[in-house]
């Protein structure tokens, strides 16, 4: 499954797996919406979840 993802998405999934507080599904949603995953977006996502 992961092998089919783009390199950028794989990197996001790996960063989400490092921190279990993050929701992997939310990361993928953000990537599919076309928004770049910056450090600021990651902090905002952690606060939301």
> In which element (H, E) is residue 25 found?
helix 24-32
* Predicted local distance difference test score (pLDDT) of residue 29: 64
* Predicted local distance difference test score (pLDDT) of residue 21: 54
Q: Are 23 and 16 in contact (CB under 8 A)?
A: yes
Q: Is the pLDDT confidence value at 49 over 60?
A: no
* Predicted local distance difference test score (pLDDT) of residue 34: 55
pLDDT, tens digit (0-9, with 9 covering 90-100), for 13-39: 666 566 655 566 666 666 655 555 566
Give the domain ranges of the chain: 2-48
Q: Closest Cα to residue 17, out of 36, 35, 2?
A: 2
Q: Model pTM greater than 0.85? A: no
* Predicted local distance difference test score (pLDDT) of residue 25: 66
* Predicted local distance difference test score (pLDDT) of residue 30: 62
């Amino acid at each position: 499954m992961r092998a089919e993802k783009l390199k950028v998405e794989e990197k996001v999934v790996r960063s989400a797996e490092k921190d279990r507080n993050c929701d992997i599904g939310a990361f993928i949603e953000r990537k599919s919406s076309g928004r770049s995953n910056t450090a600021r977006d990651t902090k905002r996502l952690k606060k939301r979840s």
